Amino acid sequence: MPNRLHLLALCLIVAPPAIAQTTPPAAHAPAPQDQVLFNSDKPPAAPKTHTAKSIDTPTDAERNSLTFTGYDLDVHLTPAQSQISVRAKLKIRNTGNEPLTRLALQLSSSLNWGSFGMRSGDRIVPLAFAQHAVDTDTDHTGQAKEALVTLPQPLAPGAGIELTAFYLGEIQKSGKRLERIGAPADRALAADWDQIAPDGTSLRGFGNVLWYPTASAPVFLGDGAKLFQLVGQTRLRQSAATIQLRLTVEYTGHAPDAVYFCGERKPLAVVSGSAGLEAAALSGVATAEFPAHPLGFRTPSLFITSGAPNDAAGGLISAVTDRPDTLPSYGAAAVLVEPLLKEWLGAEPLTPLHIIDHDGQPFEDDALLVAPMHAVDADTLAPALVHSLAHAWFRSSHVWLDEGVPQFLSLLWLEHSKGREAALLQLQQQVNTLALAEPAPPAGAGAGQQGQSLIEASDEIYYRTKAAAVLWMLRSVVGNDALKQALHNYRRTGQGDEDPKLFQHILEQGSHKDLSWLFDDWVYRDRGLPDLSIVNVTPRRLPQQGLKAASWLVAVEVRNDGDDAAEVPVTVRSGSLTTTERLRIAGRSSASIRVVFEGKPDEVIVNDGSVPEMGAMTHSKKLVIQTQ
């Protein structure tokens, strides 16, 4: 309690008087782009607009050279006025190729920078800066407020700096960036729902609302998938950063219940407040603290809820909702998929699945799901819920496992509920999209990197779709039992493993197989996808032995015109009778296998859809055998 009171006092001291006002300040006309809003080498008590003058706009190279390696955020919220004030300690590294004489840092255009400083010995030295508006769709307003901070000496490539920054302003719903590309206002607000409001605070971070300092070149929704690619690249680049939060919420009415920060829930503790009054007259201050921890592959998100959560399915689900009639459906769906999750991932979840019932575009951060809840039957909910519940069971510091395993479990659920053919059809449809993203290797290409390796993936098509396909392929190579045991054992090691090869080693120990060929081509590097074809099939009748039916020796040659190796099932069929052997084909080569078949063969099938390919994932050749 003393520490929380100290934090409260600190926030109240550093917060400017505007934070305590009962009515928001008058709105000002937006400043022209690339013009100074204020320029100061002495931190002001509150932002002021100085006479505008042109400034030297930073280059995209300058903006993209900054990588945040540490966030220490003291955040003060006043939801009744949609206001936020923050004192941030930032660790930033120059990951570019040139020295930087200034830093270009960005916030939402609805916020204002107040001051910057850097430590020099035992004191903080103020830094001169200017700020201006920049058009970009990394924020829901369609603009960012960019500060150009002048450094006392150039920041060399690879060097880091520690800054202290203060900023404040309002965050309300805004659909401006979507409206300017033609979206109706109501649909724009359904997608861009980030806000600070009395009934709840919802801030998703970079790519939605810049409520914390960021740095990037401008990017726009109308320019293909560049915004989503930038979000993924930023998550990957800053995944090793540390982040911590001290939060103070100044509330009116009933006290808020909890805060969800980076997917983790903590209750808000009331440190001061009025009592014995009508609800409308109540007021007070509540706090929460999240110690420093690795950021991981995410954008920092912040949600504050008013109501207490309700549990379902024996605690598997913890939901904050005003629609209690939806809980039985979610509980029943969780009970349906629970046996599959236990079988593949472990006896108990690591945490409940936290759901915030919110009418808007869904958002997910590991075991936190923000989405509208509906009272529908459990069978309808189960396919979507299995992915989210898998996050509650399984964690990894490597995104291809953290996201790929839940996607893989979704395929397993489809196989369980609809059959193997339905799961393979779904896998084929997903791989078709992946094949469009994977660059086709040039003729004669070798082992060069073509796309994104899974351990360095930043696009969802790789760390979800391809990762799930690789796990499905591993299942066919090592078998169900070995893969299940590997997932169980990996989970016991904890989510903070630093060795990207740990999962491979665990799987090899359990399966007693050398899987380096598969992990090298499919996980640690990206060599595209295999491109298989049946080159030749040669059936030969074997001499009959006694009264036993005649057997055939079927030689099958398969060509792989892709760069990565593939191990596929080769099946010889006659009616309902089949014999299957596995064949591994290295990249840019051919391989053959001989299959002994009891009976007269009439078809050969290479790959049953379990191994992703650049084109079709199943190849067949009918056999016409003339009998004497």
278 or 52: which leads in pLDDT: 278
Q: Considering only 375-384, 497-506, 544-553, which range has the smallest mean pLDDT? A: 544-553
- Residue-wise pLDDT for 232-244, tens only, equals 999 999 999 999 9
CATH number of the domain enclosing 433: 1.10.390
d(CA 232, CA 242): 18
Residue 351: inside a domain:
yes
Structure tokens given for 478: 């090592």
d(CA 619, CA 605): 6
pLDDT band at residue 272, thresholds of 50, 70 and 90? confident
Tell me what pLDDT residue 121 has: 80
Range of the domain at 483: 401-522
pLDDT band at residue 73, thresholds of 50, 70 and 90? very high
231 and 300 belong to one structural domain: yes
pLDDT band at residue 31, thresholds of 50, 70 and 90? very low
Q: Are 447 and 381 in contact (CB under 8 A)?
A: no
| For range 489-507, the mean pLDDT | 88
281 and 330 belong to one structural domain: no
- The rounded mean pLDDT for the chain is 89
Percentage of residues of the chain with pLDDT beyond 70: 87
pLDDT band at residue 101, thresholds of 50, 70 and 90? very high
Q: Considering only 186-200, 402-416, 546-560, which range has the smallest mean pLDDT? A: 546-560
Tell me what pLDDT residue 277 has: 56
Q: Considering only 52-61, 496-505, 530-539, which range has the smallest mean pLDDT? A: 52-61
Residue 387: inside a domain:
yes
* Domain finish residue from 467, 490, 522: 522
* Domain finish residue from 276, 305, 334: 305
Q: Considering only 14-23, 149-158, 246-255, 360-369, which range has the smallest mean pLDDT? A: 14-23
59 and 8 belong to one structural domain: yes
287 and 215 belong to one structural domain: yes
Tell me what pLDDT residue 442 has: 57
- Residue-wise pLDDT for 386-421, tens only, equals 999 999 999 999 999 999 999 999 999 999 999 999
- In order of 300, 368, 426, 446, 471, the CA distances from 114 in angstroms are 22, 33, 52, 53, 49
In the predicted structure, residue 30 carries a pLDDT above the cut 50: no
- Residue-wise pLDDT for 562-612, tens only, equals 999 999 999 999 999 999 999 999 999 999 999 999 889 999 999 999 999
Task: Specify the pTM.
Answer: 0.88
Tell me what pLDDT residue 441 has: 60
434 and 363 belong to one structural domain: no
* Domain finish residue from 350, 375, 393: 393
Closest by CA position to 275, among listed 284, 267, 266: 284
pLDDT band at residue 493, thresholds of 50, 70 and 90? confident
Percentage of residues of the chain with pLDDT beyond 90: 80
315 and 193 belong to one structural domain: no
CATH number of the domain enclosing 568: 2.60.40.10
Q: What is the number of domains present in the chain?
A: 4
Residue 628: inside a domain:
no
Structure tokens given for 212: 């914390």
385 and 509 belong to one structural domain: no
Residue 527: inside a domain:
no
pLDDT band at residue 7, thresholds of 50, 70 and 90? very low
